[in-house]
Amino acid sequence: MKRFILAVLLVVVAASTAAAYNLNFTLYNNTGYNITRMMASPSGNDEWDPDLDTITPGRLRNGYHSRITFNNVNRYRRNSSHWDLRLYYAGRWHEWHNIPLARVSRVYVDRRNQIDYE
């Protein structure tokens, strides 16, 4: 019986850990501008590190969407449940804070610099 309970607990812990690492989402650009850079950082981090925080190279044209993956984010940082996003468009950086990326599949940015997610 003890082995069975231990096995169930291990499965639950493994499943919750795997879910925390799924930070990937689709970004929808409705800003009216091309997004040329994007960064993400665990919430509460006061500085952005271009080597660690840049998650998409290239640009995302207005009216398009792109799958954002966190393949280059190390395991410690992936374990953060809330993240800040930073996008470069219209000649400047725009930031949004405290987004629960582990529970998000789509992120929408609009012309008013509003962000919405589901």
pTM reported for the whole predicted model? 0.75
Q: Encode pLDDT of 40-84 as tens digits.
A: 888 887 777 776 667 665 789 999 999 988 765 665 566 677 889
Q: So what's the pLDDT on residue 80?
A: 78
Residue 113: what are its φ and ψ, rounded to 5°? 60, 30
Residue 63: what are its φ and ψ, rounded to 5°? 85, 0
Closest CA relative to residue 80, chosen from 90, 70, 89, 88: 70
**Alpha-carbon dihedral 74, 80, 81, 83, rounded to 10 degrees:** -80
Average of per-residue pLDDT values in the chain: 78
